[in-house]
Amino acid sequence: MLDFLKGPVQAVQDVFTLGGKAIGNVFRRPFYWSDMFVQMDIIGVGSLPIVILTGFFSGAVMALQMSNALATYGAKEQTGMVVSITLVRELGPALTSLMVAGRNASGMASELGSMKVTEQIDAMRALGTDPIQKLVTPRMLATAFTLPLLTVIADFVGIFGGYLVAISTLGITGPQFWTSAWQALDYSDIAQGLVKPFTFSFAISLIGCYYGLNTTGGTQGVGRATTQAVVVASVLIFVLTFFITKIFVGRVY
C-alpha cells in the first residue's frame, strides 16, 4: 500500500521540484529568448485555429441551448449575458486549456521523451547546458504568456459565435446581444478568465515536461508518457478550475 502511494507522491514532489527549478531559472542567465519565441509560436499561434474553432462553436452552442432555457422565463434577450458569462468565466479558459493541453502537453512530452530516450538530454547535460533552463523554462513561459491571450481570443470568438446564432436564429438584435453580453461582465469575471489560463499554463507545461523528462522504456515509453501527460494535464485543469472558481465565487458573494 505504501509502495503504491509512494509513486504518485514522488511524482507530485518531482513536478513541484521541476516547477521550482524552472521558475528559478527565469531569474538566472542564460535566457533562451529564441527558444521561448519559437515555443510561443508553436503553442500560441499553432493552437490558434483549433482554439478559434472550439471557442466559436462552444459560444454558438451555448447561445442555442441557453436561449431555449431562457425563453421559458421570457428572458431570451439575456442570451448574450449567459453566453458571455459562461465563456469568460469558465468555458473559454477550460476549453482553451484543454485544447492546448491536448495539443502541446502531448507535444512537449513526446518531444522531451524522444530526447530522453535518445539520450539527448544526457548529452546536453554533459555539454554543460541545464536541460531545464534550455527546455522547460521557455516552454513554461511560452505557455504562461500565450494561454491567457488564446483564452481572450477564444472568449471573443465564442461570444461572436453566440452573436451570429442570436441574430440569425433567435431574433435578438445585435446591439441587444452585445450590450447584455458586456454589461453582464464584471472585473472579477475578467480576472477569473485570465487567472485560470495562467494557472493552467503551469500545469500543462510542467506536466508535459515532467512526463517527457521522465520517459523510460524507449519509443513505447514515449507514447505512454504522451498519453499520461495529456490525461493528467486535462484532469488537473478540471481540478484547478474548480478551486479557482471556488475562490472567486467565495470572494464575490
Partner 1 sequence: MANKSKTRWAQLRVGIMAIVALVILGTLIFLLTSGGSLFRNTVPLYTFMGDSGAMAQRSPVRLNGIVIGSVKDVRLSGDKAPGRAIQIELEVYEDMLKNIPVDSTAFISAENLLGTKFINITMGKSTETLKAGGEVKARQVEGFDEVVASSYDLLTSLKGILDRVDVIVSQVEKGEGSVGKFIADPEFYDELTRTVVEVRQIAQAVGDGKGTVGKLLYDTAMYDRINRMVGNLDDVVLDLRAGRGTAGKLLTDDKVYEETRASIAELKLLLTELNQGKGTMGKLLKDDQIAKDLGLTLNKVNTTLDNINDGKGTIGQLMVNPQLYESLNGFSTELKEFMKDVRANPKKYLRVKLAIF
Q: How near is the Cβ of 242 to partner 1 at its closest, in Å?
A: 22
DSSP state of 28: S
CB 96 within 8 A of CB 55: yes
Residue 34 interacting with partner 1 (CB under 8 A)? yes
253 binds partner 1 (CB under 8 A): yes
Q: Is 16 in the site for partner 1 (CB under 8 A)?
A: no
* 3-class SS shares of the chain: helix, strand, coil, % to 5: 90, 0, 10
Closest approach of partner 1 to the CB of residue 14, in Å: 30
Q: Is 4 in the site for partner 1 (CB under 8 A)?
A: no
122 belongs to the binding site for partner 1 (CB under 8 A): no
d(CA 168, CA 165): 5
C-alpha closest to that of 61 among 40, 36, 82? 82
- What is the C-alpha separation between 17 and 113, in angstroms, rounded? 18
Residue span 36-75 as binding mask against partner 1, x where in contact by CB under 8 A, dash where not: -xx-xxx-xx--x------------------------x--
Cβ closest to partner 1, residue 46 vs residue 223: 46
What the block records as the C-alpha cell of 68 is: 431555449
Choosing from 149, 164, 195, 231, the residue that interacts with partner 1 (CB under 8 A) is 149
Measure the CA–CA gap between 107 and 117, rounded to whole angstroms.
15
Closest approach, Cβ 199 to partner 1, in A, equals 17
186 binds partner 1 per the rule CB under 8 A: yes
Least distance (Å) from partner 1 to the CB of residue 250?
A: 12
Q: Which residues contact 77 (CB under 8 A, 6 or more apart)?
A: 172, 176, 180
Residue pair 205/98 in contact by the 8 Å Cβ criterion: no
Under the rule (CB under 8 A), what is the footprint of partner 1?
34, 37-38, 40-42, 44-45, 48, 73, 145-146, 148-150, 152-153, 155-156, 182-183, 185-187, 190, 252-253
